[in-house]
Structure 1
Amino acid sequence: MKLDFSEFFAQYEALVAEVDSVFNRVADMHSDCITCDTGCSDCCHALFDISLIEALYINHKFLERYPFGEEQSNIVGAANAADRAIYKRKRQLYRDSMKGADPRELLEAMAKERIRCPLLNDENKCLMYEFRPITCRLYGIPTNIGGKAHTCGLSKFEPGKPYPTVSLDTIQDRLGKISLELCKSIKSNYKELPGVFVPVSMALITNYDDEYLGLKAPKKKGK
């Protein structure tokens, strides 16, 4: 039986609408500081992970738009290449952390990593723009995560000046709650599933079937 996530997708879309509204308000207040424009793809090379609900949502919309054919195959190929590159970067950062590297320095290094999003076409436009993750939607205005401020390096927001700032921690909490309620609704056997974060590339190529979602009873040892 195919699972129906429409209730949780609606909750996610409501949050997306709030996020877009916040971005637009900041853009109206500080239009001189925001440099976002068609063809700008700085945010499309940033390395970040998305929550379970976002991953399920973009996977669903991707398969709706590209159910089969050459276009889907090309995007999946790009997603596989990007995912391998991301894995290598993360593996190296993990090794560095095991050697005692400063966690803050590792996070800063991760933030500087540049990997092309598989949804970015040859014209530097997003193939799934209207369904892009929340991180993409907020890129370009000041944000705060873990007590540290961030903004696009191409923007004109001046360091040290007070600007309206979006708390990404608060947004992630809300995404986490939606993911948790979704997992409770489907009665997943995987307690860790609501806290799983993956890159967009992984979300595109993952088969979110019963096995992945933990709907099948775990196999007993020796069987």
Structure 2
Amino acid sequence: MKKLYLKNINQAIKIAQNNVYFDRLSKIYDTLPTGRCFGCTKCCMESVHTHFIEFLNIFHYLRENRQLYEKIFPQIIQYYFLEMVKKEHCPFLDEEGRCTIYEVRPLVCRMFGHLTEKEYEESYKNVLHQNIEIMKVFKNKYKIMLPENVVNYKIDYCRNFEVDKQMTKDQRQTLIDQMFTMESAFFMRGLITEDFIDTGLVSWFVYTVFDIEEAGDLRVKIMKEYLESGYSESLEEIMKKIKVCF
């Protein structure tokens, strides 16, 4: 299975509700020490890794807020197709830079500021290495040269975020392990497969409309068009026809 069909999402949400997974997810989130963010949104510049249980929680939240979902869904689609050629803020931000899903934002967003500067720099090195490898693939396989400002982009370590008590690496890993424990229930039932491992928040929503391979092929086509002219006719056609999956 390489697409998130609505019937499977609904079944997964029902399983999550029957097994109080959403409540367990909230308790995991509540484990993080409180902090104070000044809302500069400098860290909100990428589609963060999101566990399936978190996607279900966010999807359920947006379905309950349909007007919001219909408003931001086009932004999500556009962000996905241009993510690797145009650096933009997270599509879940509103016009004033506020997170529209703040109540149900993913664990990765919540843990920002809990890393030491040394840990943060090591994490960036890993991200940069991955970006360079991706750049090589696009160059060799698709003849696409990714912009250097996208490949090398770095979110600076935040010194303004005030946290009451910084979490240790082991404490953060414990929370991630708890996520995987819940996630295994959906793998066992075939509601998601290994194709969806390490999926970003934006991609989860894209895969409710497109098959993984179809989305990938379209992204290559759109990237080429955009890099050649700063505009993509294919993307414009998609934006005219795209519909929110409820």
Report the TM-score range of the alignment, normalised by the length of the smaller protein: 0.5 to 0.7
User: What percent of counterpart residues are identical?
Assistant: 19
| Counterpart check, 1:84 vs 2:43 | no
Aligned-pair RMSD on alpha carbons? 3.9
**Are 2:92 and 2:100, in contact at CA under 8 Å, matched by a contact in 1?**
yes
Match for residue 72 of structure 2? 75
Aligned mates of 2:107, 2:73 — CA distance in 1: 21
Change (3 A) 1:55 1:190: closer
Match for residue 46 of structure 1? 46
The one of 179, 187, 190 equivalent to 1:188 is 190
Match for residue 18 of structure 1? 28
User: What TM-score do you get using the length of structure 2 for normalisation?
Assistant: 0.53
User: What letter matches 2:16 in structure 1?
Assistant: S
User: What TM-score do you get using the length of structure 1 for normalisation?
Assistant: 0.58
User: What letter matches 2:56 in structure 1?
Assistant: L
Aligned mates of 1:9, 1:40 — CA distance in 2: 37
User: What letter matches 1:50 in structure 2?
Assistant: T
Aligned mates of 2:119, 2:174 — CA distance in 1: 9
Aligned mates of 2:31, 2:43 — CA distance in 1: 19
Moved more, 74-83 or 53-62: 53-62
Aligned mates of 1:156, 1:131 — CA distance in 2: 23
Match for residue 6 of structure 1? 16
The one of 127, 132, 149 equivalent to 2:100 is 127
| Residues 162-193 of structure 1: CA deviation (Å, up to 9, x unaligned) | 95424443333221221111332xx2176526
Match for residue 58 of structure 2? 58
**Are 1:55 and 1:200, in contact at CA under 8 Å, matched by a contact in 2?**
yes
| Counterpart check, 1:154 vs 2:158 | yes
Aligned mates of 1:50, 1:172 — CA distance in 2: 11
**Are 2:45 and 2:88, in contact at CA under 8 Å, matched by a contact in 1?**
yes
Aligned mates of 2:26, 2:202 — CA distance in 1: 20
Match for residue 36 of structure 1? 37
- Structure 2: runs of 5 or more not aligned: 1-6, 125-154, 213-246
Aligned mates of 1:145, 1:174 — CA distance in 2: 22
Aligned mates of 1:149, 1:181 — CA distance in 2: 29
More helix by share: 2
1:93-104 equivalences in 2 (<5 Å): none
- Structure 1: runs of 5 or more not aligned: 28-34, 90-112, 213-223
Moved more, 122-131 or 2-11: 2-11
Displacement of 1:127: 1.0
Change (3 A) 1:197 1:55: farther
Change (3 A) 1:13 1:116: farther
Match for residue 94 of structure 1? none
